[in-house]
Amino acid sequence: MNNLIRIICLTFLTCLATGGTAMAAPGKALGTVLITGANRGIGLELASQYKSRGFQVIGTARKPEQATELQALGVRVEALDVTDSNSVKALASRLDGIALDILINNAGIAGYSAGSFQEFDFDQVMPSFEVNSLGPMRVTQALYKNLASGSGKKVVQISSIMGSVELNRGGSYGYRASKSALNILNKSLAIELGPDGFVCVVLHPGWVRTRMGGESAQLTTQESVTGMVSVIEQLKPASNGRFYDYQGKELPW
């Protein structure tokens, strides 16, 4: 009886020490997560936190040989250009037979911007859609079988509050439009895959101090990612097709 009480106490203290989040037993992974654009910023921090929590992590980068910080984490590093269908198909081929529990489509760009509508060059905005909108869909489609064979079936799109139509305050035409497109594509995906047990959501990471967010941003990558990991862990069927921020607050479309 004393040993049982001791075990219960130790378990409780461990839970407190980890913030109440699940941790893997020694030698056993909690699951497998694939993170695109994992070589820096939010993606790198996602890879780090999931690795430390006991997940098998697959991080992608356009140039894996240059992703030294990602390699140093000891995770599996794969080449991927989300705008290149051949690159996406090649990744799916290399991962054939590997079950994925969580897919986090994090790769994104700020893209072209202009000071006003009159100055906007529409010919320069297409890369934003290729990376931010269509890229995540290419990856999700290619890895559908991997996700279907996993137990988590979570698809997470790293979007932005700037993709919200209701909260639009003007400017940043290309970036806003590309994130709005991602949001609506994910909504359709959620409707189609929800009956099969998938939970597909979009997440706003907050204004984060990264190369894209700039030094004036409010959050560190650790703060943002800690919040998002908690939100992802708590996703349930009722979360499917919704839009959340890094604190779990639901955002307007």
The residues annotated as belonging to the active site are 159, 175, 179
Residues 175 and 168 sit within 8 Å (Cβ to Cβ) = no
Q: Please tell me the number of Cα atoms within 13 Å of 239 on its side-chain side.
A: 22
**CA-based nearest residue to 230, from 61, 34, 49:** 49
Contacts of 128 (CB under 8 A, 6+ apart): 109, 111, 112, 174, 175, 177, 178
**CA-based nearest residue to 105, from 193, 35, 183, 40:** 35
Q: What angle do CA 172, 176, 178 make, to 5 degrees?
A: 125
